[in-house]
């Protein structure tokens, strides 16, 4: 133990920015919403001081520049937003979260460091998975009078602290909590589901590439805890998307890893499928009979209303109403009599907020990022699993965003910057076929297919 502590002290002295980055990735999803951003800001200051002392300049890369263009347009929308304070605050928050992407791109410049980041993300998700599992189990046991109220782990974990902080802020913040669905350290079950969905493919990558039996057992347990954490949220979309992610990875990796993938699938389906059935009251009553069907109807009403709004308002169609979901909530409440805070779909939400211009900027950014992963020459199994792990995480994250607004809080939006930063670092560390036009993109895609079939 003393030797490990001494090694950590030496590591911190030589590379404090890297140590802070690992701490940020582990703590950010676990701390309250109003604490996590300050951990990031403090870590970035340490990183910037270290870089300046060493005479180096922080780089943002092409993806970073494209993100800055999108965020710059979002900030510009303050000029025509009817809720300018909300727009400016939301844009400023995005610029703050962007610091994580910068840190990852500059600090994770080796394959071992990329793996260390993935391990840290998985460890953090495991903690949330355990908390979520304890919350849903405690609620269920208490509901049937097996344990007293005092033995139930409160959900969200910071519910009391959140109430105290939010009531003392100079502006109003309201959050809807669910006793019957676990939220972990987040304020909402959907936010916890986002964390689990992101971490699920990463845990599979670590399991497939474990070098020792002990590591393989730990990675398997990590995947089980993440699956259990996702199941505890009773989030239909998250559970279905995670299963779809496994199917996609199985199709890609089955030639070499079919046994390992089936090993992972057994606990996944054992804990996730009952969650879906419980939400619909098929095998167990969750205390909210009919809630799932009502939620689906509400989502369609929201989408129909907002599409009607942008199609009937020219300015909103092209440049949006301004960044931030406050105006979206106002539109739904006062024009369509729907008391909902956002669109429950990130594409429609950004269409309302930033118009077609914003959708195009974001679409180019995401397509370019996927292309950077596609450039990588996956000529061995480790690179193949890594590329498709991050790609699957990104796809699942965005897929989940089609049924919920995945940029609703710092602890949720940070995952976008995490995945983009990882994409940049992986692209930097591994050999790649540079994509310059449609022809080189086609060649790279064909190479990926050949590499996949040959694994």
- Per residue in 269-286, pLDDT (tens digit) is 988 988 888 876 655 555
Q: What is the pLDDT of residue 180?
A: 85
Q: Mean per-residue pLDDT for 294-306?
A: 87
Structural domain contains residue 356: no
Task: Find the helix or strand (DSSP H, E) in which 131 lies.
Answer: helix 111-143
Q: CB-based burial of residue 350 (10 Å sphere; 0-12 exposed, 13-18 middle, 19+ buried)?
A: buried
Structural domain contains residue 135: yes
Task: Find the helix or strand (DSSP H, E) in which 14 lies.
Answer: helix 2-14
Q: How many domains does the chain have?
A: 1
CA angle 4, 5, 10 (to 5 degrees): 95
Q: What is the pLDDT of residue 446?
A: 59
Residue identified by tokens 């209303």 is: 305
Give pLDDT tens digits for 182-235: 999 998 899 999 999 999 999 999 999 999 999 999 999 999 999 999 999 998
What is the SS3 assignment for 152?
A: coil
Q: What tokens were used for 69? A: 């263009």
For the range 12-20, what are the long-range contacts, defined as Cβ-Cβ under 8 Å and sequence gap of 24 or more?
15/50, 15/107, 16/46, 16/47, 16/50, 17/43, 17/46, 17/47, 17/50, 17/51, 17/103, 17/107, 18/107, 18/113, 20/46, 20/47, 20/103
Torsion of CA 76, 81, 86, 92, to 10 degrees: 0
Residues 6+ apart with CB under 8 A from 427: 372, 373, 375, 376
CB distance 223 to 210 below 8 Å: no
pTM, two decimals, is 0.91
Q: What is the pLDDT of residue 441?
A: 57
245 pLDDT above the threshold of 50: yes
Structural domain contains residue 58: no
Confidence tier at 308 by pLDDT (50, 70, 90): very high
Give pLDDT tens digits for 137-154: 999 898 888 889 888 999
Structural domain contains residue 71: no
Confidence tier at 116 by pLDDT (50, 70, 90): very high
Q: What is the pLDDT of residue 51?
A: 93
Q: What is the pLDDT of residue 164?
A: 87
Give pLDDT tens digits for 8-62: 777 778 889 999 999 999 999 999 999 999 999 999 999 999 999 999 999 999 9
Q: What tokens were used for 127? A: 């903690």
Structural domain contains residue 211: yes
User: Which domain covers residue 177, as residue numbers?
Assistant: 129-289
Task: Find the helix or strand (DSSP H, E) in which 77 lies.
Answer: none
447 pLDDT above the threshold of 70: no
- How far is 35 from 410, CA to CA, in rounded Å? 10
Q: What is the pLDDT of residue 399?
A: 95
Sign of CA dihedral 352, 358, 362, 364: positive
| Averaged pLDDT of the chain | 88
- Whether omega for the bond prior to residue 156 falls within 30 degrees of 0, making it cis, is yes
Q: What tokens were used for 442? A: 């086609």
Structural domain contains residue 100: no
296 pLDDT above the threshold of 80: no
Structural domain contains residue 83: no
455 pLDDT above the threshold of 50: no
Residues 6+ apart with CB under 8 A from 280: 292, 293
- How far is 33 from 28, CA to CA, in rounded Å? 9
- How far is 423 from 371, CA to CA, in rounded Å? 10
């Amino acid at each position: 133990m003393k030797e490990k502590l001494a090694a950590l002290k030496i590591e911190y002295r030589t590379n404090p920015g890297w140590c802070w980055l690992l701490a940020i990735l582990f703590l950010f999803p676990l701390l309250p919403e109003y604490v996590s951003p300050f951990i990031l800001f403090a870590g970035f200051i340490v990183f910037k001081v270290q870089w300046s002392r060493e005479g180096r300049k922080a780089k943002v890369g092409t993806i970073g520049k494209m993100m800055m263009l999108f965020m710059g347009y979002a900030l510009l929308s303050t000029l025509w937003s009817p809720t300018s304070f909300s727009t400016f605050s939301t844009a400023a928050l995005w610029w703050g979260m962007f610091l994580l992407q910068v840190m990852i791109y500059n600090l994770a410049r080796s394959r071992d460091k990329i793996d260390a980041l993935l391990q840290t993300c998985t460890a953090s998700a495991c903690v949330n998975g355990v908390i979520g599992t304890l919350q849903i189990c405690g609620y269920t046991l208490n509901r049937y009078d097996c344990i007293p109220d005092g033995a139930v782990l409160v959900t969200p974990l910071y519910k009391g602290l959140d109430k105290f902080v939010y009531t003392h802020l100079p502006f109003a913040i309201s959050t809807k909590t669910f006793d019957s669905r676990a939220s972990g350290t987040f304020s909402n079950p959907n936010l916890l589901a986002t964390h689990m969905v992101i971490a699920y493919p990463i845990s599979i990558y670590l399991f497939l590439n474990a070098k020792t039996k002990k590591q393989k057992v730990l990675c398997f347990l990590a995947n089980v805890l993440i699956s259990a954490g996702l199941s505890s949220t009773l989030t239909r979309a998250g559970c279905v998307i995670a299963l779809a992610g496994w199917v996609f990875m199985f199709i890609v990796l089955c030639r070499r890893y079919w046994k390992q993938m089936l090993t992972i699938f057994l606990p996944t389906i054992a804990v996730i499928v009952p969650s879906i059935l419980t939400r619909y009251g098929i095998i167990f009553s969750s205390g909210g009979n009919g809630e799932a069907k009502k939620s689906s109807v509400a989502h369609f009403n929201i989408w129909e209303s907002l599409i009607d709004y942008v199609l009937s308002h020219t300015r909103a169609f092209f440049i949006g109403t301004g960044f931030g979901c406050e105006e979206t909530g106002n539109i739904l409440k006062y024009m369509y009599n729907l008391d909902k805070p956002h669109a429950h779909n990130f594409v429609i939400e950004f269409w309302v907020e930033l118009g077609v211009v914003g959708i195009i900027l974001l679409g180019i950014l995401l397509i370019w990022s996927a292309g950077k992963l596609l450039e990588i020459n996956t000529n061995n199994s480790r690179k193949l699993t890594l590329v498709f792990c991050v790609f699957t995480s990104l796809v699942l994250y965005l897929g989940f965003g089609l049924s919920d607004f995945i940029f609703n809080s710092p602890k949720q939006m940070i995952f976008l910057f995490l995945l983009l930063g990882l994409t940049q670092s992986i692209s930097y560390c591994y050999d790649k076929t540079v994509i310059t036009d449609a022809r080189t993109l086609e060649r790279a895609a064909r190479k990926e297919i050949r590499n996949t079939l040959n694994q």
